Structure 1
């Protein structure tokens, strides 16, 4: 995955619309399905938990299917990009202890994966207005820059390929 420039206002607007649509669909779908099943198959005890649960699960599955179906739609571009970015960053984060150890020993691929993680995290946190940890990120980036200078390595995140993580 390569980092791309994302318009924050457009991303926030589209994300809010997608979330709102999912909430409305989940609410309406759950109630509609469960109420229809309750009318068709009433329970003598008055407990309709299983019909309510079935309504929620069915609605959630339909929403998931719809989100996947419209994943390639231009309206979803920013939302899907951030979703994919979060998944890519999670894959790097799971390997971070090994990456840090390898970077200390001069492994260029480890430093490149860390650079991708730090750059991607910065973009993600700025898009989501999560600026609390940006100071920590600056410290981590400074440590990585020191390692890159020590081993005379130029880190270009355009060269990052997720396949290098298999090595760690």
Structure 2
């Protein structure tokens, strides 16, 4: 897996075999970030990467200029992998890894973010609650964006206070 663009474009990100770990493919990540770049200036933004997995989405944001990224991953071993990737890429000072349940993190945080990236397990049934809670708790700053990666079979509801700006399908994503 590699970083697509930015100051670290072309560098690799380590992954590991874990049941349920489904890193976003390079092709999907490139398309997603091309779409995001047309809507948000990555320079000095604060990013939240929920269900972070390998950290690829948050690390891509940092490579493109984000000031900070908070990674939330419930699996301790996978969270350690994110920390290892951040150290290897000299990003440890710009990334903070939390071993935490994503919904509990949203409920407990007092932080706000310009960009929220969420890639829950496709079998999860919390998509609607996740988006609702993110807006209800006001963790998304004014003019901020939420990117929700989900199974193409799922049709999440639009949360109060939010608007779907774009929807893309890539195979089963």
TM bucket (normalised to shorter chain) is under 0.3
Larger strand proportion of the pair:
2
Greater RCO (CA < 8 Å, at least 6 residues apart): 1
Taking structure 1 as the reference length, the TM-score comes to: 0.24
Larger helix proportion of the pair:
1
Taking structure 2 as the reference length, the TM-score comes to: 0.24
